[in-house]
Amino acid sequence: MNSEIRYRFQSGQVANRFLNELKDWHVAKVKTTLLNGGLDVKVGYQFDGTGFDYTCSELDDLAAKHQGTEVN
């Protein structure tokens, strides 16, 4: 199952820091897209649909480290 999450950051610079950390991310293989003039990052990944989604949890923690918030 494909899952996508979108995060908003205070500046494009912070969004790019988040993107750079995801380039060699150890948790899961993710695909990223920069949106909204560079303030939003959409992250896509595969989730098997069973159990707890640890990838989502780790993404939330990493975004929070950069003061990012999840948006719809």
Report the CATH number that the domain containing residue 32 is assigned in CATH. 3.30.70.100
Q: Do 71 and 65 meet the contact criterion of CB atoms below 8 Å apart?
A: no
User: Residue written as tokens 């199952």?
Assistant: 1
| Number of separate domains in the chain | 1
Is pTM, for the whole model, over 0.85?
yes
pLDDT band at 17 (very low <50, low <70, confident <90, very high): very high
Q: Do 31 and 69 meet the contact criterion of CB atoms below 8 Å apart?
A: no
- Structure confidence by residue, pLDDT tens digits, 23-61: 989 998 999 999 999 999 999 999 988 889 999 999 999
Expressed as residue numbers, the domain containing 66 is 2-71
